Amino acid sequence: MTTERASGARIHVVRFAPAKLNLTLAVVGRREDGYHALHSIMVPLSLGDALTASASPPGAVRDSLRVTGLALSSAPDNLVLRAIAAAREVVAATWPGAPADPPPLAARLAKRIPVAAGLGGGSSDAAAAIQAALAVWSTTLDPDAMASLAASLGSDVPFFLAGGVALITGRGERVEALPDIHGEPLAVLLVTPQVAVATATVFGAYAAGARGSDERAAEISEHLAAEMRAGGLTSAALVVRTAELAGANDLRAAAASLVPGLAGFLTALEKLVDRPVCQSGSGPTLWTLYPTLAEARKAARFVRLGAVNGTLPLVGTGEPFIAATTIAARHAPPSAEPPGRTTGTIRPRTVHNGFDAGGHGPAGPAAEPTESKGDRLDES
Ligand code: C5P
């Protein structure tokens, strides 16, 4: 990336780690490695975490992580720390200071994406951590090494590394970029019951036979991918097809079989918002689309009221996470020479990933157009 290491300047990297939605999720087979073969159209959201990384202070011997916002363990099994460690292992092979490894990093994660919710938060944090670590170490990896590093950390990580709307196939490692959806940024209402659902358990239930009667997910997904590839999909056209998307997630029945009350919760939510409701990934996050963020925000307020007055049944341990956000435009690639370069000084240099949050211009996480409840983005 740059040669800041030689100059002695400390680099301070901030990366926005977006959540994702699966517009479609078709399971199209079982692979020899035990994973399921997928056909899924995924979009990044303007809701996301913020990951900050810099070189640890002198004397530190291991990577550190501080988490603020939603509750999440900062133990070594956190995907951020695992991603930094895995990146170090790959980089170490060609590290010029050998035998010393790339130095320890101090990372901070402002957590806003609900955990184990089908929104890809952990995978997005892992992708951001790889990119942040490489930037702090002022190094790069070739695309093949990057791809296998990403896939080794989780099936959704390659999608987040690529950034932008994409068709995912294989177990998730094959990412075909698709054109952005045209028109006004589409707004999304997210409703996540307070119950963590492990992806592996949901795929396990699917493999054991928890499947819906309607098997149209693959057909809908292929059709939508073809349309998007041709570049003709508008947000107005997608919004009217929400009912179709609601039938395009093959893991919906499996999630419902594992979470008592989820099916009833979905039906109640559909009644409350008077529109079809879809599931993201392996769940339990439910979502629906709106033409504007103002409408999604209004719906979020209405759903919050429903959660309080009992119109919406309680699932899990408390009130659901409810947020209005937008489908985000493609990542602007990080600049090779970000502004503020201060060669030879000790002033920390900040590198952002210039994420365009829903067409509202380059924006950090504090500026993204998301309204949510019960979470906090602590950038201090
Ligand atoms: O890759 P990741 O760690 O996110 O996957 C978690 C688990 O979900 C896997 O161990 C596997 O059991 C299941 N899975 C699957 N097929 C996929 C992705 C995940 O069976 N394509």
Q: How far apart are CA 76 and CA 107, in angstroms?
A: 12
Q: Is the CB of 36 under 6 A from ligand 1?
A: yes
Which pLDDT tens digit goes with each residue over 107-119?
A: 999 999 999 999 9
Binned at pLDDT 50, 70 and 90, residue 351 comes out as: low
Q: Is the CB of 82 under 6 A from ligand 1?
A: no
In a domain, 338, yes or no: yes
Average pLDDT, the chain: 87
Q: How far apart are CA 297 and CA 214, in angstroms?
A: 31
| pLDDT tops 70 at residue 367 | no
**Once rounded to an integer, what is the mean pLDDT over residues 4-33?**
86
Structural domains counted in the chain: 1
> Peptide bond before 320: cis, by omega within 30 degrees of 0?
no
Kindly give the number of the ligand 1 atom that is closest to the alpha carbon of 36.
16
Report the nearest-CA residue for atom 20 of ligand 1: 35
271 is a catalytic site residue: no
**Residue 9 or 376, more confident:** 9
Ligand 1 site-directed mutation target among 22, 124, 156, 203, most atoms within 8 Å of CB: 203
DSSP code at position 366: G
CB 252 within 8 A of CB 283: yes
Q: Which of 105-109, 242-246, 370-374 has the lowest mean pLDDT?
A: 370-374
In a domain, 372, yes or no: no
**Once rounded to an integer, what is the mean pLDDT over residues 148-160?**
97
Distances (CA, A) of 104 to 9, 62, 98, 172: 16, 5, 15, 30
Residue found under tokens 């790959």? 90
Catalytic residue among 49, 156, 180, 356: 156
**In percent, how much of the chain has pLDDT > 70?**
84
List the structure tokens of 149. 């590093």
**Once rounded to an integer, what is the mean pLDDT over residues 173-193?**
96
Binned at pLDDT 50, 70 and 90, residue 372 comes out as: very low
156 is a catalytic site residue: yes
In a domain, 263, yes or no: yes
Residue 304 burial by Cβ neighbours in a 10 Å radius (0-12, 13-18, 19+): middle
What is the domain extent for residue 213?
A: 11-367
In a domain, 376, yes or no: no
Q: How far apart are CA 194 and CA 321, in angstroms?
A: 7
In a domain, 248, yes or no: yes
Do you know the residue count of the chain? 380
Q: Is the CB of 38 under 6 A from ligand 1?
A: yes
| pLDDT tops 50 at residue 5 | no
Q: Is the CB of 98 under 6 A from ligand 1?
A: no
In a domain, 82, yes or no: yes
| pLDDT tops 80 at residue 243 | yes
Ligand 1 centre to CA of 342 (Å) is 43
In a domain, 1, yes or no: no
Binned at pLDDT 50, 70 and 90, residue 336 comes out as: very low
The model's pTM is 0.88
In a domain, 59, yes or no: yes
DSSP bridge partners of 234: 182
Q: Residue 210: which CATH number?
A: 3.30.230.10
